């Protein structure tokens, strides 16, 4: 059996992605990953007092890096949609890069959107990392491009075609089950590698998830709260689930 003919993933990647070179979606993905890594290194340096790095403040007000991120997203989106500037060929990467950097800066403070307070270094702040992982997974799927996915299916042998359809059906099922159990990162990863989603689907659901609220009794819900104590920190009628709301420590 010729694997290149049965599963033409490598050949399709070489033809539709590598040979085509960097395109806007791929450039946005690269910029997103570099910006996310860079801002995490920078914030860690500020927190630990490494080098001359300090928080950005204007008139004594701390400016979160979400602010320039939003400005980059608005600016690049407006230019691309409303103006559609004809940039010289050597600047084709500018708008996709601005979008990728802006998305990374903004999503890295996703927890601030939800809680409306600075929870960057708390347990709640992990939701920012979750949001960035999900965004990177979606960007990676888009960056491969529709021609790549079409070529993989069209060029596959009958047995390979069935295997590909089965694989992606499992991926979709795993993603849906993970979402129902409140595990967003696992859902995003399972779109590419379904075993991650299946593991998340058989393990204990998050207590605030639709699955837990509909399917768990008091005992199992108590186990879920014990497994995910950080979920108590958000306003919720936890008493109805049999667990008193955790009071903040003064």
Q: How far apart are CA 101 and CA 118, in angstroms?
A: 21
75 contacts 98 by C-beta, under 8 angstroms: yes
Instruction: Confirm whether 26 is domain-assigned.
Output: yes
| Span 144-161, average pLDDT | 68
Residue 23: how many other CB atoms lie within 10 Å: 14
Instruction: Confirm whether 12 is domain-assigned.
Output: yes
Highest mean pLDDT among 37-41, 126-130, 179-183, 234-238: 37-41
Instruction: Confirm whether 18 is domain-assigned.
Output: yes
Q: How far apart are CA 41 and CA 65, in angstroms?
A: 13
Instruction: Confirm whether 218 is domain-assigned.
Output: no
Task: Supply the pTM of this predicted model.
Answer: 0.71
Residue 166: how many other CB atoms lie within 10 Å: 11
| Span 220-230, average pLDDT | 87
3-class secondary-structure state, position 63: coil
Give alpha helix (H) positions in 184-240: 184-190, 194-202, 210-215, 218-227
Report the percentage of the chain scoring pLDDT > 70.
79
Q: How far apart are CA 250 and CA 235, in angstroms?
A: 17
| Span 42-65, average pLDDT | 86
Higher-confidence residue of 70 and 21: namely 70
Q: How far apart are CA 66 and CA 105, in angstroms?
A: 5
* pLDDT, tens digit, 9 for 90 and up, residues 229-239: 877 755 444 44
Distance of CA 156 to the CA centre of its chain: 30
Give alpha helix (H) positions in the chain: 3-6, 9-13, 24-48, 66-78, 94-107, 110-115, 126-144, 146-155, 158-180, 184-190, 194-202, 210-215, 218-227
Confidence band of 243 (pLDDT split at 50, 70, 90): very low
Query: Distances from the Cα of 143 to the Cαs of 27, 63, 129, 147, 191, in angstroms?
Result: 8, 32, 20, 11, 14
Instruction: Confirm whether 127 is domain-assigned.
Output: yes
Whose CA is closest to 108, among 121, 97, 92, 96? 121
Instruction: Confirm whether 43 is domain-assigned.
Output: yes
Instruction: Confirm whether 72 is domain-assigned.
Output: yes
Domain count, the chain: 1
Q: Which structural domain, as residue segments, surrounds residue 38?
A: 3-156
* pLDDT, tens digit, 9 for 90 and up, residues 163-189: 777 887 888 898 899 989 988 888 888
Instruction: Confirm whether 212 is domain-assigned.
Output: no
What mean pLDDT is reported for the chain? 81
| Span 8-15, average pLDDT | 67
């Amino acid at each position: 059996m010729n694997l290149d003919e049965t599963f033409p993933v490598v050949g399709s990647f070489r033809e539709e992605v590598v040979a085509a070179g960097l395109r806007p979606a791929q450039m946005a993905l690269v910029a997103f990953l570099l910006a996310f890594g860079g801002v995490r290194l920078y914030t860690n340096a500020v927190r630990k007092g490494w080098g001359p790095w300090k928080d950005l403040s204007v008139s004594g007000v701390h400016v979160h890096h979400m602010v320039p991120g939003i400005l980059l997203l608005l600016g690049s989106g407006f230019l691309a949609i409303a103006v559609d500037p004809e940039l010289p060929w050597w600047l084709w990467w500018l708008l996709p890069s601005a979008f990728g950097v802006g998305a990374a800066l903004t999503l890295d403070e996703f927890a601030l959107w939800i809680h409306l307070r600075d929870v960057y270094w708390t347990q709640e702040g992990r939701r920012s990392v979750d949001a960035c992982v999900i965004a990177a997974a979606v960007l990676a799927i888009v960056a491969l491009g529709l021609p790549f996915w079409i070529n993989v299916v069209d060029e596959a042998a009958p047995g390979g075609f069935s295997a590909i359809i089965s694989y992606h059906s499992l991926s979709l099922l795993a993603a849906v089950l993970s979402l129902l159990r409140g595990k967003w990162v696992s859902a995003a990863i399972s779109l590419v590698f379904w075993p991650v989603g299946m593991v998340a689907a058989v393990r204990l659901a998050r207590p605030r998830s639709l699955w837990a609220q509909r399917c768990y009794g008091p005992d199992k819900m108590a186990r879920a709260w014990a497994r995910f104590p950080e979920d108590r920190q958000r306003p919720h009628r936890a008493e109805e689930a049999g667990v008193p709301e955790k009071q903040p420590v003064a």
